[in-house]
Amino acid sequence: MFDNITLGQYYPAQSVVHALDPRMKICLLVLSIVAIFLAGNLLAFVPVMAFLALACKMSRVPVKLLIRGLKPLRFILVFTFLLNLFFLQGETPLLNLGFAVIKKEALILSVHYALRLVLLVLFSSLLTLTTAPVTLTDGLERLLSPLRVIHFPAHEMAMMMTIALRFIPTLLEEADKIMKAQTARGADFESGNLIKRAKAMVPLLVPLFVSAFRRAGDLAMAMEARCYHGGEGRTRLRVLKMAKNDYLALGAMGLLIACVVLLSRVY
């Protein structure tokens, strides 16, 4: 049952995009979001899409995999698109469906909003597809570490994420084991309505939680035995270093934002 849960969606490959510094990739994601929101008209989306296509090509991630990131959002996408289409204000009637009139302005705006959402998801998918979770955690920790001055627990957060990543497969395995044990004793997880199935989950979740807490206790003890005492004075095995490509990518992103602003103004 749990076999098909893959962690994140990292697609391992050797590419320039994979090799970028995770800090830079996170910054680039933020900047691409800025670019998406700066786009004032449909034309301004063209360079954004071109940038995404180029980045995808250079990352060697199959386009199909990238598109798959949209799948969980398909209902929301269609729903908001239709809602916008029917209810946004406009002047020029385009199509009379009898029960409603579709306006030209509404159509353009609906497409605009839908594109915005699609691009947001695609850019973030590209980040998670090309960056291993551990590396991403590392990048986040380092990016957020200046916030320590306002007591933001950057190191603790990163450590928490690492531990979560480490233990998710272990807990899934355990859940599978408990489930099989309960099934052997006649528990039924598969049939019945939603409420019945949710109830059936209780005998699975209780032992799972109990064991997770025990693991947490053990782990804390083991970490302490290995001299863990927070982020203070800690060195790292992997140091992140910005390279030429990182600055090139940043430059390209700058150009993209300039293009978007220009197109939004001119048109």
Partner 1 sequence: MPDLIFDVQNVSFAYEEGGPLAVRSLSLQVPKGAFYAVLGQNGSGKSTLAKLMNGLYLPTEGSVSVCGMDTKDEKHTWDIRCRAGMVFQNPDNQLVATIVREDVAFGLENIGVPTEEMPGRIEQALRDVGMTEYAERAPHLLSGGQKQRVAIAGVLAMRPEAILFDESTAMLDPQGRREVLSAVKRLNRELGLTVIWITHFMEEAVDCDKVFVMHSGEIALSGTPREVFAREEALRALRLDVPPMAHLAQTLREAGMPVQDVLTVEDMVREAKRLCR
Q: Which residues of 109-122 are buried (b: 16+ CB within 10 A; e: fewer)?
A: bbebbbbbbbbbbb
State the sign of the Cα–Cα–Cα–Cα dihedral 55, 61, 63, 69: negative
177 near partner 1, judged by CB under 8 A: no
User: To the nearest whole angstrom, how small is the minimum distance from the Cβ of residue 170 to partner 1?
Assistant: 5
User: To the nearest whole angstrom, how small is the minimum distance from the Cβ of residue 212 to partner 1?
Assistant: 10
169 near partner 1, judged by CB under 8 A: yes
Rg for the chain, CA atoms, rounded:
24
207 near partner 1, judged by CB under 8 A: no
User: To the nearest whole angstrom, how small is the minimum distance from the Cβ of residue 238 to partner 1?
Assistant: 8
**Distance set, CA 262 to CA 40, 43, 65, 255 (Å):** 10, 11, 32, 10
223 near partner 1, judged by CB under 8 A: yes
Contact (Cβ atoms closer than 8 angstroms) between residue 129 and residue 59: yes
38 near partner 1, judged by CB under 8 A: no
Residue 50's closest CA among 246, 256, 251, 261? Answer: 256
- Which of these ranges, 14-22, 79-87, 116-124, 230-238, lies near partner 1 under the rule CB under 8 A? 230-238
225 near partner 1, judged by CB under 8 A: yes
93 near partner 1, judged by CB under 8 A: no
Contact (Cβ atoms closer than 8 angstroms) between residue 46 and residue 53: no
**By C-beta, is 96 or 235 nearer to partner 1?**
235
Element (H, E) at 103: strand 101-103
User: To the nearest whole angstrom, how small is the minimum distance from the Cβ of residue 46 to partner 1?
Assistant: 40
Summarize as ranges the residues that interact with partner 1 (CB under 8 A): 133-134, 162-163, 165-166, 169-170, 173, 214-215, 218-219, 221-229, 233-239
